[in-house]
Amino acid sequence: MGAHAKKKPGARPQPRTPGARNAGSAQRARKARAAAPSTEAASKAEIARQLRAQLAALTGGLAPDDYLKAWWEWYLKLATQPPRQAQLAHSAYEKTLDSLQFMTRAAGGAPLAPGHEELGFTDAAWNVWPFNAYARAYGNWASWWKQALTPAAAAADPDLSRVNFTGRLLLEAASPANFLYTNPELLERTAAESGQNLIRGLKNWLEDAQRVARGGRVGGTEHFEVGKDVAVTPGKVVFRNRLIELLQYAPQTPDVYAEPILITPAWIMKYYILDLSPRNSLVRYLVEQGHTVFMISWKNPDAADRELGLDDYLQLGFLDALAEVRRLIPRQRVHAVGYCIGGTLLAIAAAALAGAGDEPFASLTLLAAQTDFSEPGELSVFITPNQVAMLEAMMHKSGVLESERMGAAFALLRSRDLLWGPAVDQYVRGERPKLNDLMAWNADGTRMPWRMHSEYLERLYLRNELARGEFTVKGEPVRLSALGAPLFVVGTETDHVAPWRSVYKLRSLTRSPDYTFLLTSGGHNAGIVSGPVHPKRRHRLLTWSNAAETLTPDEWLKRAPQREGSWWPAWQRWLIEHSSARREPARSVDAGGGPSATLEDAPGSYVRQYTRRGHVAPCRNRPGPLDDCG
């Protein structure tokens, strides 16, 4: 048999030589070594993420190294400025001397006002010894600390703004108004009621502790039932997908404007801030003016929705809703309205469509919505690469950001009004607040998916991609300069979520030749929900007809005259000016026909998905395709 003889059937295979075995082992080893760095890097990244998540659980999502760095930088700057040190030392001496002199005068027994009314010491009970001495000393101490932190507060460096933020938190926590034995009002109340207020306060605290433990809703919100007391404007759910329900409201006039209105609310909270009680409903106001109104109602996501990203909110949210509106009311352009982050999404969608040559909008209205995040205001203290990484790790573990986390952040920004004041009222005075519709809505929070919120913070806040022209949709860059539709932009005077000067920046980013900016009194929520029934409202308004004309915020403020009253009628007049003169017979809610017109009555099911410590309450005795509507 030669070397090339065929193997006999059934012959056993020859064993591999040692050389062949060694060559195979070497090849596998090379592959293992090549894969090792990526595997090791992924493992280290996952360990780091888990450690960040554990730290975030301890700190409430705050990055302690950011605050330590900020305070260290403040200290180093102060340490290298002897004149500043001398100035602060002299100020401390003067304020200490003032406190001692005031204490001596007040000890005489005659009522003496402590001053510092801005800190809340206005009641006559604070004019009596020793409480006026407490208030005076605290006021002087607070004044000195503010003076010491003034360079940090005024600096553009966000690190220094965190010094001012934490310093203010400590000051507000230490106020004598927060403690029973240093607050004369609380002592008088306790004596007058023989301590019954403290018993009620303890009861309130136990009720709240039990509610938190079982994931219940805030007490008092049961008087504002969705679909019965709020969100009651008649309508239908005409479209639903995994992320939104689209509501179409029933007409309340015999004829309507040709162009429909599509509203995109923020998904951080429920949509019905724009449809509160009937006297306080922007939706009802628009319908009564003769508009056909559509509203996006966002799903309250859970862990199963963790992978939903900004692109999904764009496509499944706004673009799917817009397509359905255009199907139901064909051959008509749309008045698109976006509120808060919903306005940011609207700007992205409109710019992307315009860049593709599709301009379906009769007008665009942005309510308290930022498009340039370079100056996000007070929220900047929570938005750094370190803090976003910690928040991302915490969300990655659970799949969502719970509404309580977001609420806690906003409470810290207004700790005196949203944290310490309510705590004293409920647990020491024993008084529960009487909720109104806006307060009940504020307690009805939602979750946010891990991927979407991570992308939102990183791409918009940290990298400011939208204003820089670097934001992409389906691989294509989005340019706000492509926006050519008439624009109506609303800012609110005391907004700490979307400061009006930040909202104003859109003027320099768009080519729209028809641009109106309106500034209204109030804050992020109350300023928008500011109908004609609200007294003492005011606003300023100015329209540009030249795309090249720009004004700084301060120049605009000087030029725009102040007007008394709600901004809603001014907006309604603007909408009329940008609508067809011809009106049409009122459209029935199921004008488009087909199965989508018969889903269910407004407000739908998604708005009834309530937060229960990471899950939604099951539906009870409610027909429909969903089993988690609350």
Residue 46: per-residue pLDDT: 72
Residue 445: per-residue pLDDT: 85
Which residues are paired to 297 by β-bridges?
Answer: 245
Tell me the pTM. 0.85
Token pair recorded at residue 41: 């890097």
Tell me the mean pLDDT in the region 424-443: 90
Quick check: 261 pLDDT over 70?
Answer: yes
Give the DSSP letter of residue 221: G
Q: State the pairing for strand pair 361-367/334-339.
A: parallel
SS3 404: helix
Residue 110: per-residue pLDDT: 85
Residue 553: per-residue pLDDT: 92
Residue 15: per-residue pLDDT: 53
pLDDT band, very low/low/confident/very high, at 598 (cuts 50, 70, 90):
low
Contact in structure between 441 and 270 (CB atoms under 8 Å): yes
- pLDDT 10s digits, 376-423: 888 888 888 888 888 888 888 889 988 888 788 888 888 888 899 999
Tell me the mean pLDDT in the region 570-580: 96
Contact in structure between 608 and 630 (CB atoms under 8 Å): yes
Residue 38: per-residue pLDDT: 63
Distance CA 223, CA 446 (A): 19
Tell me the mean pLDDT in the region 555-576: 95
Contact in structure between 531 and 513 (CB atoms under 8 Å): no
Tell me the mean pLDDT in the region 50-58: 72
Residue 55: per-residue pLDDT: 73
Residue 313: per-residue pLDDT: 97
For 336, other C-beta atoms within 10 Å of its C-beta total 28
Q: Verify whether residue 619 is a known catalytic residue.
A: no
In terms of average pLDDT, the best of 120-129, 190-199, 203-212 is 190-199
For 575, other C-beta atoms within 10 Å of its C-beta total 22
Instruction: Enumerate long-range contacts of 530-533, CB under 8 Å, 24 or more apart.
Output: 530/566, 530/567, 530/568, 531/279, 531/280, 531/281, 531/282, 531/285, 531/566, 531/568, 532/285, 532/565, 532/566, 532/568, 532/569, 533/279, 533/280
Contact in structure between 459 and 327 (CB atoms under 8 Å): no
SS3 472: strand
What CATH fold (topology level) applies to the domain 224-374+464-580+589-616? Rossmann fold (3.40.50)
Quick check: 152 pLDDT over 80?
Answer: no
Tell me the mean pLDDT in the region 92-104: 95
Residue 334: per-residue pLDDT: 98
Residue 21: per-residue pLDDT: 52
Amino acid at 226: V
Q: What percent of the chain has pLDDT over 70?
A: 86
- pLDDT 10s digits, 266-283: 999 999 999 999 999 999
Q: What percent of the chain has pLDDT over 90?
A: 58
Tell me the mean pLDDT in the region 161-173: 89
Q: What is the mean pLDDT of the chain?
A: 86
Distance CA 625, CA 210 (A): 32
Q: Which of 56, 321, 336, 340 is catalytic?
A: 340
pLDDT band, very low/low/confident/very high, at 158 (cuts 50, 70, 90):
low
Residue entry with tokens 């009222």:
425
Strand intervals (E) in 379-514: 400-401, 448-449, 472-473, 476-477, 487-492
For 433, other C-beta atoms within 10 Å of its C-beta total 13
Residue entry with tokens 């599509």:
262
Stated as kind and residue range, the H or E segment containing 612 is strand 611-612
In terms of average pLDDT, the best of 51-60, 112-121, 135-144 is 135-144
Distance CA 269, CA 441 (A): 8
